[in-house]
Amino acid sequence: MPVLPKAELHVHIEGTLEPELAFTLAERNGITLPHPTIDDLRAAYSFTDLQSFLDLYYSLTDVLRTEQDFTDLAEAYLTRAAAQGVRHAEIFFDPQAHTTRGISLDTVLNGLGAALDTSEQHHGISTALILCFLRDRPATEALNTLRQARPHLDRITAVGLDSAEAGHPPEKFTHVFDAARDLGLRCVAHAGEEGPASYIWQALNLLKVDRIDHGIRCLEDPDLVAHLAATQTPLTVCPFSNVRLRAVQNLADHPLPALMDAGLLVTVNSDDPAYFGGYIHDNYQGLRQHLGLDETALRRLARNSFTASFLPTQRRDALIAELDTHPAH
């Protein structure tokens, strides 16, 4: 199966921290991890739901302390992404996971920026950054995070909303997203991963998002599916993630074909690839193996990824042309 050129629109940079790099950074920073060996750490990558994953995800961010750590993290992701056909990446980061530990936004953004600034030249990957607010923390803290980000807006394309979804509806962040839009930022939000279809409606109507991250539970509301199809609002679907976090039992049961058949603008992404058993091309391959998606369907997903991106028209069209002329084998 060819490694198709594609965009990645849903990847958390903190979720690309491979166990090997976690140990390297822990050693460099004089930190003792709760897991004595890499194999012990890998064995902990068995999750029962979103929260059980987030507990480990946030605890491992502790190894990220310096600008160099964030540069190394992003550089490792970009290297892997290039091998998986990624030509454009819109990358989430969670400032509050760092500022609440005393790591400044300057450190995070200077570190990530150093890798992103050379990404097109070194890896052929254009990039954008999406600043995510943690929905299980107060909206006042999100607003404060947005205020801290103001001097860095040249580095930030959009805001997003992530972390524990159940019990944390988008409506809580309406004024934060209004303020972000006033600053010229695009808006996305995780919705309908574990939370109900009503959270997707809220993300659309109150947060006025350009894309829905995950969104698979839209299928519980036919009016919502019709609306998403009519507006061609993109969904950034993450199949491996849904299986590992048990939103879906097996890849063979994944609703992605149903979403495509309903005429939605579906994209495929890796979410937290270090934790969920594969990067973006691995997800495409999984869909072929377990859901029988053929090359036409996979090419449609790759094309959708460029259509749904925040790329300027010229590069977007150039990448679509590259995909269309990419050989089948």
- Per rule CB under 5 A, is residue 271 in the interface with Zn ion? yes
Out of ligand ADE, Zn ion, none, what residue 113 binds, judged by CB under 5 to 8 A for its kind, is none
CB of 1 to ligand ADE, least distance (A): 26
Out of Zn ion, ligand ADE, none, what residue 284 binds, judged by CB under 5 to 8 A for its kind, is none
- Please report the sign of the dihedral spanned by the C-alpha atoms of residue 71, residue 76, residue 79, residue 81: negative
Q: Which of 62, 67, 90, 193 binds ligand ADE (CB under 6 A)?
A: 193
Out of ligand ADE, Zn ion, none, what residue 15 binds, judged by CB under 5 to 8 A for its kind, is ligand ADE
- Per rule CB under 5 A, is residue 62 in the interface with Zn ion? no
Residue among 14 and 323 whose Cβ is closer to ligand ADE: 14
- Per rule CB under 5 A, is residue 194 in the interface with Zn ion? no
CB of 314 to Zn ion, least distance (A): 29
Residue among 67 and 255 whose Cβ is closer to Zn ion: 255
Whether 193 is catalytic is yes
Rounded Cα distance, 231 and 14, in Å: 31
The CB-side HSE value for 116 (13 A sphere, CA atoms) comes to: 23
Site for ligand ADE in 146-175 (CB under 6 A): 162-163
* Phi, psi dihedrals of residue 17, rounded to the nearest 5°: -75, 100
At position 178, the amino acid (one-letter code) is D
- Per rule CB under 6 A, is residue 190 in the interface with ligand ADE? yes
Listed residue (217, 311, 318) closest to 264, CA to CA:
217
Q: In what order do the strands lie in the sheet with 126-134?
A: 6-12, 86-93, 126-134, 158-162, 186-191, 211-214, 235-237, 266-268
The answer to whether 10 touches 280, Cβ cutoff 8 Å, is: no
Q: Which of 14, 67, 193, 194 is catalytic?
A: 193
- Per rule CB under 6 A, is residue 8 in the interface with ligand ADE? no
Only one of the segments 19-27, 107-115, 168-176, 263-271 lies at the binding site for Zn ion (rule: CB under 5 A); that segment is 263-271
Out of ligand ADE, Zn ion, none, what residue 8 binds, judged by CB under 5 to 8 A for its kind, is none
What are the CA-CA distances from residue 260 to residues 219, 253, 279 (Å)? 11, 14, 21
DSSP string, 65-83: -SHHHHHHHHHHHHHHHHH
What count of residues does the chain have? Answer: 329
The answer to whether 5 touches 326, Cβ cutoff 8 Å, is: yes
- Per rule CB under 6 A, is residue 50 in the interface with ligand ADE? yes
- Binding-site size, ligand ADE (CB under 6 A): 11
Query: Which residues are known catalytic residues?
Result: 193
Q: Given the rule CB under 6 A, which residues bind ligand ADE?
A: 12, 15, 50, 57, 162-163, 190, 193, 241, 271-272
